[in-house]
Amino acid sequence: MTTSKTPTSPSSRDLQPYLSGIESFAQRLAATPAARTAGAEYDDLVQEGMLAAYIALRKGVDPTPSVGVRMKDWIRLQKRQREGDPIPYETLLPTEVPAGGEG
C-alpha cells in the first residue's frame, strides 16, 4: 500500500528557527556589488528566504540549502529586469508546491 505525502502549511513557529540565519545571509548578500547593482534590497531578500523556507518545510525537506539559492535567484531576477529583460516572477521563482509535496 502506497501512501501519498500531503503537504502541510508550516506555521510562523515552524519558520522561526530559520529567521536569524535568513536575516544574516540577506544582510551579507545585500551588501554585495551584484545585489547593489541589481537593486536587490535586504527586505526583499529576507522575504524570498522566508518563502524558500516555507516551501521547503511544506515539502517536508530541510530548508537550509534552498534559502541561499532563492535569494541569489532573486538578485538575478532583479538584474534581468533592470537590464530590460523582464521574466515573470513565477518562471524563475516558483511558489507552488506540487501535489504530494514533491517537486
49-76, pLDDT tens digit by residue? 999 999 999 989 999 988 999 999 889 8
Find the domain containing 72 and state its range.
12-92
Whether 2 maps to a domain, the answer reads no
- Specify if 28 maps to a domain: yes
What's the predicted TM-score (pTM) here? 0.78
Q: Is residue 100 part of a domain?
A: no
Burial class of residue 81, CB neighbours in 10 A (0-12, 13-18, 19+): middle
**Does 93 have pLDDT greater than 60?**
yes
In a domain, 47, yes or no: yes
Most confident residue range from 1-5, 8-12, 17-21, 90-94: 17-21
Evaluate whether residue 97 is within a structural domain.
no
Based on the structure, what is the number of domains in the chain?
1
How does residue 86 score in pLDDT terms, banded at 50, 70 and 90? confident
Give mean pLDDT, residues 21-45: 94
